[in-house]
Amino acid sequence: MWRWIGLALSISLSISCVSAAERTVQVAVASNFVQPMQALASGFSTQTGYQLQVSSGATGKLFAQISHGAPFEVLLAADDEAPAKLVENGLAVKNTRFTYATGALVLWSAQSNTLNENTLKNQSFNKLAIANPKVAPYGRAALEVLNAQGLTAVLTPKLVYGENIAQAQQFVATGNAELGLIAASLVMFDGQFKTGSGWLVPGSLHQPIRQDAVLLNKGQHNPAATAFLRYLQSPAARQLIRRYGYQ
């Protein structure tokens, strides 16, 4: 009798665990997209009942973690290269990759300064923060801006590198750098700077920052993962993404 009760209890607990797992999706998200991701997670959970577990970092580091077996089910990258390589390497599901946002760069100061297209050329600052271009697409775009303005050689000694774009923004926010070339989404909302001041860098000065999402192999049988990718393409999600300065 007690054996049967114990077996029934064991089966019940197993079913509960499976159900809980299936209602959660592990999402790896590029650092520039953390703030809109928090808002999206709330709307997604309210609409579907599913929950998101989010890990953030530079796209290059997330790519490395996924390549080494990290349990992520969806990737929201800061470029279109990492998702494409994951598909090519057999770690992501074919025909699930799409561009969920196109990012923008701003030259930002934590102070109420007047910044414009001549600020970098004037060189009247000691430190300029950017994300590590080896792992962060926004860092690569920042270098493209300097190159387009003919400033790479003269400003390289003034560069300080964040591990990701969020850390680069923190360098400026804490005064460790006067200026930063960072993601607009970190400091802007509805077309206005939330803090400090800045200059929206023209897209003509760098390659488009196309940010792709992809379903990873570990999430292909999780209904929560596919539901989140559908939600990310919904009109409500797209409208919210635009409010953070993305196209």
Please say whether the beta carbons of 138 and 208 come within 8 A.
no
Q: How far apart are CA 175 and CA 184, in angstroms?
A: 19
Please say whether the beta carbons of 135 and 61 come within 8 A.
yes
106 or 3, higher pLDDT: 106
State yes or no: pLDDT of 20 exceeds 80. no
Average pLDDT over every residue of 212-225:
97
Would you tell me how many other CB atoms lie within 10 Å of the CB of residue 60? 24
* Residues contacting residue 117 through CB under 8 Å, at least 6 positions apart: 199
Cα–Cα distances (Å) from 85 to 32, 66, 78, 99, 100, in that order, read 20, 11, 13, 15, 17
Q: Hey, is 106 helix, strand or coil?
A: strand
Q: How far apart are CA 183 and CA 15, in angstroms?
A: 43
Q: Hey, is 127 helix, strand or coil?
A: coil
Confidence of residue 98 (pLDDT cuts 50, 70, 90): very high
Confidence of residue 21 (pLDDT cuts 50, 70, 90): low
Q: How many CA atoms lie within 13 A of 178 on its CB side?
A: 12
Which pLDDT belongs to residue 123? Answer: 93
State yes or no: pLDDT of 46 exceeds 50. yes
Tokens of 120: 């970098």
Which domains are seen in the chain, by residue range? Answer: 23-102+209-243 (3.40.190.10), 103-205 (3.40.190.10)
Give all strands of the β-sheet with 179-183 in edge-to-edge order.
159-162, 128-131, 179-183, 105-109, 197-200
Which pLDDT belongs to residue 5? Answer: 38
pLDDT > 90: what percent of the chain? 89
Phi, psi of 77 (to 5 degrees): -90, 170
State yes or no: pLDDT of 8 exceeds 50. no
Which pLDDT belongs to residue 52? Answer: 96
State yes or no: pLDDT of 22 exceeds 80. no
Q: How far apart are CA 157 and CA 161, in angstroms?
A: 11
